[in-house]
Amino acid sequence: MAPQEDRTGRREALIRLARAGGLGAGVTGVAFWLAGRSRYPEEPTAPYIQRNVAVKPDPGLPEMAVVQGDDPRRLVQRAVEELGGMRRFVSRGDVVVIKPNVSWDRTPEQAANTNPEVVAETARLCLEAGAKRVIVADVCINEAQRCYERSGIGAAARSVGAQVVFPEDRLLRPVDLRGETLRVWPVFTPFLEADKVINIPVAKHHTLTGVTLGLKSWFGILGGTRQRLHQRIHESLADLGDFLRPTLTIIDAYRVLLRGGPGGGSLADVALKKTLIAGTDPVALDAYAAKAYWNLEVADLPYLQMAARRGLGTTDFARLRTKLIGSGD
């Protein structure tokens, strides 16, 4: 079989399995104002910082793991195990920041925020691997304390020894992002100071970008009036992906908000998929989830095309070394 035909076959197999909500056992293989002149805040002396906390590629390990099952904590354990274990990503003494979606005053069942059990288990594994400190941080849209309480993420994180840091003004630092669209912008300081950053978005619909997944999650590292970024949202997402390259991405698709995003609210818009998608290529993970749950092609997602052109990953997820694990494994 020709390489292109082989990739196409694997791609379709991945999509069919994810949509079915059950995997076979142990399958392997498969705004004009923003245009270069942002004015918020006006801070000409802001430092230029670029965060690349990615791990080195390992050709002997999968680049993506898709795991399904009933227990969210076990999904995290198995996905991280397949990717080489948490000690591949976290070294003894590291300060690790976990970035979930905690934007909305919603319950876990409404799927507008990351599953609290996924956050807690990721934090626990980081501490077990020797992390000195694990911080859970996000710049919320609704009131932060209420978001953390109602989502369950605050209590879940603290229960395993992680620290929750709320987005206070004093913790927002102006940074020159030097993006094609984004320049000086306030960034939540935990993301500037951490040794490692693990991105854990929830898979959900978005009215402007079609979906909000790994790259869209980076809006939650910024302060300021983020609605202004919507005028050139795809360019902004590519800039943010270039600014912060994560150690690990884990897409929470245990519950998927298929419609009504990003804030959600109606349980009728939520599908129970009991899936976790983890890996080291954030572009490929976004492309896979967008196709699996919304049937969106890369042509429908300009921000992914821009990110791929900058070398942030591949949109051709079928090319990845992939491990698929079903609920019976």
CATH number, position 138: 3.40.50.11440
Residue 323 CA from chain centroid, whole number: 19
pLDDT confidence band for 167 (50 / 70 / 90) = very high
Instruction: Give 43's DSSP letter.
Output: -
CB distance 138 to 99 below 8 Å: yes
Residue 33 has pLDDT above 60, yes or no: no
Average pLDDT over residues 244-252: 98
Say if 38 falls within a structural domain: no
What pLDDT is attached to residue 1?
Answer: 55
For residue 78, give its domain range. Answer: 48-325
Is residue 149 one of the residues assigned to a domain?
yes
Identify the weakest region by mean pLDDT among 48-52, 58-62, 299-303. Answer: 48-52
Would you say residue 31 has pLDDT above 50? no
Specify if 26 maps to a domain.
Answer: no
Determine what percent of the chain is predicted with pLDDT higher than 90: 82
DSSP code string of 187-209: EETHHHH-SEEEEEPEEEEETTT
Are the beta carbons of 134 and 123 closer than 8 angstroms?
yes
The DSSP letter of residue 272 is E
Question: Does residue 19 belong to any structural domain of this protein?
Answer: no
The Cα-based distances of 186 to 46, 69, 172 in angstroms read 10, 39, 5
Is residue 85 included in any domain, yes or no? Answer: yes
Question: What is the amino acid identity at position 262?
Answer: P
User: For the chain, what is the domain count?
Assistant: 1
pLDDT of residue 227 exceeding 90: no
Mean pLDDT of 16-42: 50
Write phi, then psi, for 238 (nearest 5 degrees): -65, -40
Position 12 in a domain: no
> 67, 75 in Cβ contact below 8 A?
yes
Q: Which residue type sits at 302?
A: P
The answer to whether residue 261 scores a pLDDT higher than 90 is yes
CB 296 within 8 A of CB 290: yes
CB-CB neighbours of 39 under 10 Å:
11
For residue 293, being part of any structural domain is answered with: yes
In a domain, 59, yes or no: yes
Among 15-24, 112-121, 224-233, 270-279, where is mean pLDDT lowest?
Answer: 15-24
With bands split at pLDDT 50, 70 and 90, how would you rate the model's confidence at 141?
Answer: very high
Other Cβ atoms closer than 10 A to 90: 27
Question: The pTM is what?
Answer: 0.89
- Quick one: pLDDT at residue 306? 97
The helix, strand and coil proportions of the chain, stated in percent and rounded to the nearest 5, come to 40, 25, 40
Residue 29 has pLDDT above 50, yes or no: no
Structure confidence at residue 158 (pLDDT): 98
Q: What is the pLDDT of residues 84-99, one digit of tens each?
A: 999 999 999 999 999 9
Residue type, 220: G
State yes or no: pLDDT of 128 exceeds 50: yes
3-state secondary structure of 68: strand
Question: What is the chain's Cα-based Rg?
Answer: 18
